[in-house]
Amino acid sequence: MPAGADVTSAAPKTDGIPTWADMDEAARTEYWAALALRHCRGLGARSCARLLRAFGSAYQALQARQHWSDAGLNRRQAAEMSTGSWRVTARTEWDQARRLNAGILLWTSPCYPQRLRELSDAPVLLYCRGDLSLLHSPAFAIVGSRRATNQGLAVAAYMARCLAACGIAVVSGMAQGIDRVAHEAALARVGRSIGVLGTGIDQIYPRSGEKLFHAMAERGLLLSEFPPGAPPLAEHFPIRNRIISGLALGVLVVEAASRSGSLITARLALEQNRDVYAVPGPALDSHCLGCQELVRQGARPVFSAEDVLRDLAEQLRPFGISEASLPEAEKALSLPVPTTREEQAEQPKVSGQCLKENSAVLPLPAERACAEAESLAPADRRERLLHCLRAQGPMQADALASALDMPVYELNALLIGLEMLAQVRRLPGARYEVPA
């Protein structure tokens, strides 16, 4: 990129987000600077967001490397940027974006969502496909198990349909189960749906979701912070959850086991000062133990769409949305409940005999979540991190990455896995400690 280009000189595009081919020279300069921040070893999302807030743009942040300490960064981080070690991987993403038919949403764009901009670890940029006007709608997240029960799927569809009918954009993660039915139910309504991917914006995952992917690109909105071509790595999905909750006024967890990635989303929502809701579900149902724990911790139990509309009344009022916005056809409905003996039999209960009969055939949701956590936290890296925290005491994530000489994206996945295993505890300010 030519040196010295002034990113502030370009007229802002308010009629849409440009693809790489549509960008003018100033926008491409800012994009290249954003890639430099993303690919600089030792800079995590939190550090990048600090720089963007302090200097106003990625380009201005690069120009002011000698003043990074003003944004709370250290000399080592600034020195790493000066080495240019980030150029190879940044160039790869640049070249991929040139071939990509998707919008590139930069921090400096007036279309960058304000609620997302407020996050301490807001993404430097987002790739997007679909209707960008949804970024300015009130949004509400619905998340839950990939292996949901029929009851859970019905509840998620009902809530998504009702809220979207009022003009609220339903946000979720494009996964199987709860995510999928929430997107599908919302797409045909006024509010429609926003999907946050754990892959590159050009990757369809899971493959069974191809029809939904194209429908979201045509009538909803797809977002990804990952480079084009990024595969569905296990560590991507927990990391993207902060965007799901960050876009939303609140987060509803429909079904979640006692150790579940959905509970991480709920915790992120609380840190972001978002409201958290949960469908309590049947007593002793292994799929709902996480939701029941959320309610015990203070999450609002939900029994109808009106519960959410009533609770968010003040935040929805500027958009002209209230309980009265719910169509009469939806008001007559309530959360689906199993009514026949056959439907009730489909709800798995945690009884001794049931566990004994099924454990050898199909792992319980909590066990699946534990296996997912184990995959995010391999034993060798886990012991290094735990040893460091025991020796140093609570540490901020970026400082921990520097101490371990570990890429920030790898550390984030490792921390999430350890948090799910209850081997580390997250403190305010993205600091972590080993529980006593």
Each residue's pLDDT, cut to its tens digit, for the chain (436 residues) gives: 433 332 223 333 333 689 999 999 999 999 999 999 999 998 999 999 999 999 999 999 999 999 999 999 988 999 999 999 999 999 999 999 999 989 999 999 999 999 999 999 999 999 999 999 999 999 999 999 888 989 899 999 999 999 999 999 999 999 999 999 999 999 989 999 999 999 999 999 999 999 999 999 999 999 999 999 999 998 898 889 999 999 999 999 998 876 677 887 888 898 899 999 998 866 556 667 778 888 888 889 998 999 999 999 999 999 999 999 998 877 655 555 544 334 434 433 322 232 223 222 223 344 445 666 677 788 888 899 999 999 999 988 888 888 888 877 778 778 877 887 789 887 866 688 998 7
User: Does residue 36 form part of some domain?
Assistant: yes
CA distances from 305 to 160, 281, 323, 376 (A): 9, 15, 9, 35
2 in any annotated domain: no
Residues in the chain, how many?
436
State the pairing for strand pair 395-396/431-433: antiparallel
Residue 408 lies in a domain: yes
For residues 84 and 190, state if they share a domain.
no
Name the packing angle between helices 261-271 and 236-247 (round to 10°).
40
Rounded to the nearest 5°, which phi and psi values hold at 239? -65, -40
Is 142 found in the same domain as 61? Answer: no
User: Is the CB of residue 176 less than 8 Å from the CB of residue 208?
Assistant: yes
Same domain, 142 and 95: no
Regarding whether 206 and 167 lie in a shared domain, the answer is yes
Q: 287, 312, 328: which is the final residue of a domain?
A: 328
Co-location of 84 and 156 in the same domain = no
Please indicate, yes or no, if residue 359 is contained in any of the structural domains.
Answer: no
CATH code, 162: 3.40.50.450
In this structure, the answer to whether residues 94 and 148 fall within a common structural domain is no
Are 384 and 239 part of one and the same domain?
A: no
Quote the pLDDT of residue 280: 85
Q: How far is CA 124 from the centre of its chain?
A: 14
For residue 266, which phi and psi values (nearest 5 degrees)?
A: -65, -40
The reply to whether 156 falls in a domain is yes
Residue 123 belongs to some domain of the structure: no
Task: Mention every residue, 6+ apart, whose C-beta is less than 8 A from residue 206.
Answer: 175, 176, 232
How many structural domains comprise the chain?
3
Residue 338 within any structural domain of the chain: no
How many angstroms separate the CA atoms of 119 and 269, rounded? 11
pLDDT at 11: 30
User: pLDDT value at position 17?
Assistant: 82
> The CATH number of the domain where 427 resides is what?
1.10.10.10
Rounded (10°) CA dihedral 238, 303, 219, 110: -60
Point out the domain boundary residue: 302, 328, 354: 328
Query: Which residue is it, tokens 């149902």?
Result: 285
Bridge-partner residues for 351, per DSSP? none
Same structural domain, 170 and 45: no
Angle at 221 between CA 118 and CA 50, to 5 degrees: 20
Q: Are 90 and 3 in contact (CB under 8 A)?
A: no
Query: In angstroms, rounded to a whole number, what is the distance separating the alpha carbons of residues 196 and 53?
Result: 24
Do the domain assignments include residue 360?
Answer: no
- Examine the domain organization and report whether 94 and 135 are in the same domain: no
168/52 same-domain check? no
Cβ(257)–Cβ(143) below 8 Å = no
Q: What residue numbers bound the domain in which 170 lies?
A: 131-328
Note the pLDDT of residue 400. 87
State whether 279 and 188 are in the same domain.
yes
pTM above 0.85, yes or no: no
- DSSP for 19-42? -GGG--HHHHHHHHHHHHHHHSTT
Q: Are residues 278 and 216 in the same domain?
A: yes
Residue 332: the pLDDT is: 56
> CA-CA distance, 194 to 141, in Å (whole number)?
9
